[in-house]
Structure 1
């Protein structure tokens, strides 16, 4: 690489933030509210995902009430498994994806601010298919981690969609 090319690259890198700030660009999350309003939960409220979602709401300074002005509808979470690698191997990688739909509705005028969007998160684990007890423990632990990640993703999505009053 020529010296001139390096100088151009450095100059472009130095000017990029200046140009982006001039057009009104801001990173996501820089002006997110620190607390969410109280929410009402509908749909699948008994799943591990729902329990994790409620826990994260409470840690964010919000809560769940049947009379809340905003209704979050959670769909039943679906865990999809995809086996990676060839047949006949005792230890294989598995890709696990947890998906759930979410909707956000304002109770006062029944306006949907988020109309049934499906969010997902995934992970890969290596499992020895011959060790059934360990296999179930690994899958259970992975599902718990995916529920935590998806609950956080749902909260972030709700903050970005709604115009909280």
Structure 2
């Protein structure tokens, strides 16, 4: 490769971002992310999902207040278990799915910006059905992780909705 070819390649690489930004192109996740306004929490506010959701809102710079202009209603989370594999095995794979419904309503005019969307998070775990103590610990740990994942999905969805308002 000649020196001139190397210089052309470097120049093209340097100008490409300028050309792309001029046409409105942006990489996902770049730029300022939309922050959420203060939210009011309704529905199932005592579940582990609600506690994780509140913690993630605080991390995202939003708060929870009873008089907030937006009301998020969380449905009661449902944990669904599906056993994978055949009978008669000591260890078995389980697919766990945590589902919850979410609504977002403006307090000022009672309009819904999200009306009862169901969100879910899933995981697979391997459990020895003969070891009951370890089984409960594994299921509890998996549920905690699913609550974190589902709360993050809900916060991400709310940020997406807020960016269009």
- TM-score over 0.5 (shorter chain): yes
Pair 1:157–1:103, CA change in 2 (3 A): same
Distance in 2 (CA, whole Å) between partners of 1:29 and 1:70 is 25
Counterpart for residue 84 of structure 2: 84
Deviation at 1:59, TM superposition (A): 1.1
Counterpart for residue 71 of structure 1: 71
Pair 1:67–1:164, CA change in 2 (3 A): farther
| Structure 1 residue runs without a partner (length 5+) | 1-16
- SS of equivalent to 1:162: helix
Deviation at 1:29, TM superposition (A): 3.7
The number of aligned residues is 149
Distance in 1 (CA, whole Å) between partners of 2:126 and 2:102 is 30
Distance in 1 (CA, whole Å) between partners of 2:131 and 2:147 is 24
Counterpart for residue 33 of structure 2: 32
4+ residue runs over 3 A deviation:
20-31
Deviations 1:21-68 (A, max 9, x none): 8986655444521x3211000000000000000011111111100100
| Structure 2 residue runs without a partner (length 5+) | 1-15
Counterpart for residue 143 of structure 1: 143
- SS of equivalent to 2:118: strand
Counterpart for residue 124 of structure 1: 124
TM-score by length of 1: 0.82
